[in-house]
Structure 1
Amino acid sequence: MQDDIPTEAAKYASPPCFMHELSPECRVEAIRSDAWRDVLRWRKAERKRLLDARLALTQHDREARSSRIASMLDVTTSDYSGRIVGTYWPFRGEPDLRNWGTQVFERGGHIALPVVIQKGWPLEYRIWTPGDPLERGVWNILVPAQGPSVQPDIVIAPVVGFDEAHYRLGYGGGFFDRPLAIMQRKPWIIGVGYAQSRIPTIYPQPHDIPMDVVFTD
């Protein structure tokens, strides 16, 4: 289902020590450097907690949840003809949408996979057709061995965590936000993840870019 987060969402496992000082109205404003260090420490701990919970799911459970997410994607957008869809190769228990990606291709869409050029740089998307060669990239993730760099019309963004304002908690490298910030036109950004990854807020900062919608199992 599309996740409309209730106000009674669960409390944080370990909120940053200064968070009581921030009102909801100023959450996206820059904060002082020592407070930002607290946010980074909190995000690191929350990221580990959420990843541990995700990896604890059985393979069968992840497959069932991934199938439900794929169904939600098709309910929202069924016409992919001529569109470039930036999807991903699953990593560390992420929802596996590879079969869904193949269906996008069969319906006339184009698949693009993210490639991390090097740490600290924006990733780029490369066109990939099922059957094209893949190679091991950064973190040993499979990426297209060749293919042109493109700008997707739709970006499917896997989340480690997500909040009620559709801000994404990722792996901490900023790989998704950086390319989105420099794209000539903004793609439609769809977050995908498990419902258990929902948190009240990630305490977004000015460099964080919200997703347009989030789909969960």
Structure 2
Amino acid sequence: MAEYRGNKEFRKKIRQDILKQRRVIPVEDSFQAGLNIVKVLRGHEFFSSKKIVASYISTGGEISTAPLNDYLLDAHDLILPYININVKGSMDFYSFKKGDPLIENRFHILEPENKQENLIRPDLIDAIVVPLVAFDKRGNRMGMGGGFYDRMLKKVSAECLLIGVAYDFQLIENVPTESWDMPLDEVITPTTHFVFNKKWP
């Protein structure tokens, strides 16, 4: 129990330190970092054909996903997360097209409308761009602690490509993991493309 408590406290400290750094990043730097992410995806073999790709609306100093989402709207089928407030840790993905409305949820994050006809089954998703607080060189990811993505990543197919996007300073030596944590296949930073588990020919 003491080990688990220490692990929990360590995760909390990492989150605090990285979120503090992230919050002071200028908007223009965040946007430029997002452009750098798109450059990698444009040259990525996995995305050479049209895919159903899950992304998200960046917030709180995260790398701007505006350039990424514009690219996905043009070249692929973009889907965005919707948090189900009635079920703890539950999140679904809904298709999103240019001009569709976005609604602010209780976490002050913009989401698509939860129209049943736009709901996308997890097994149909080809790739998920995953937000994160920290990652290591083994593909371990630390999120915000809500468990939304860990639960979703257990529902997708084994072929679904899991890509984290992060600033370079979000790379740490060792992410403390729990049994429910889901590792990533790749992480893209503004300067480096990490591949931990290759899922394309």
TM-score band, normalised by the shorter chain? 0.7 to 0.9
Q: Secondary structure at the match of 2:8?
A: helix
| C-alpha distance in structure 2 between counterparts of 1:186 and 1:36, whole Å | 32
Closer, same or farther: CA 137–150 of 1 in aligned 2, 3 Å: farther
When residues 111 and 131 of structure 1 are mapped into structure 2, their CA distance, relative to the original with a 3 A threshold, is: same
1:41 alignment counterpart: 9
Which stretch shifts more, 154-163 or 93-102? 93-102
2:153 to 136, 159, 180: 180
Farther-moved stretch of structure 1 (170-179 vs 145-154):
145-154
- Aligned residue in 2 for 1:79: 48
| Structure 1 residues 122 and 185: CA distance shift in structure 2, 3 A | farther
Q: Any idea what the Cα deviations from partners look like across 1:120-146, whole Å, max 9, x if unmatched? A: 323111111121112122302111113
Query: Displacement, 1:211?
Result: 0.2
1:69 is matched with 37
Q: CA–CA distance in 2 between the matches of 1:44 and 1:121? A: 19
1:60 aligns with 2:43: no
SS at match of 2:81: strand
Higher RCO (CA-CA < 8 Å; seq separation 6+): 1
Q: Hey, which of these two has a bigger chunk of strand by percent?
A: 2
Q: Which runs of 5+ in 1 are unaligned?
A: 1-32
Q: How much is the aligned-residue C-alpha RMSD, in angstroms?
A: 1.6
TM-score after normalising by structure 1: 0.78
Residue 148 of structure 2 aligns to a residue whose secondary structure is coil
Q: Establish whether residue 129 from structure 1 lines up as the match of residue 97 from structure 2.
A: yes
Residue in 2 that maps onto 1:15 = none
1:196 paired residue number: 169
Shift in Å, 1:102:
2.2
Shift of 1:44: 0.9
Which of 131, 148, 152 is 2:119 aligned to? 148
CA contact (8 A) 2:34 2:68 kept: no
Structure 2 regions of 5+ residues with no counterpart?
Answer: 191-201
Distance (Å, rounded) in 2 between the aligned partners of 1:138 and 1:112 = 20
Distance 2:2 2:101 in 1: 46
| Counterpart-to-counterpart distance in 1, 2:178 and 2:140 | 10
Task: Name the structure 2 match of 1:111.
Answer: 78
Task: Give the fraction of aligned pairs with identical amino acids, expressed as a percent.
Answer: 26
- Residue 186 of structure 1: how far off its partner (Å): 4.8
1:9-45 deviations in Å (ceiling 9; x for gaps):
xxxxxxxxxxxxxxxxxxxxxxxx2211111111111
CA displacement at 1:59 relative to structure 2: 1.5
Q: Which one has the largest radius of gyration?
A: 1
Number of residue-to-residue matches in the alignment? 183
3-state SS of paired residue (1:182)? coil
Report the alpha carbon displacement of residue 166 of structure 1 after superposing the two structures with TM: 1.0
User: Does residue 1:205 correspond to 2:178, yes or no?
Assistant: yes
| Contact 1:70–1:97 (Cα < 8 Å) also in 2 | no
Matched residue SS, 1:176: helix
- For residue 180 of structure 1, report the CA deviation from its aligned partner: 1.1
After TM superposition, the runs of 4+ consecutive aligned structure 1 residues lying more than 4 A away are none
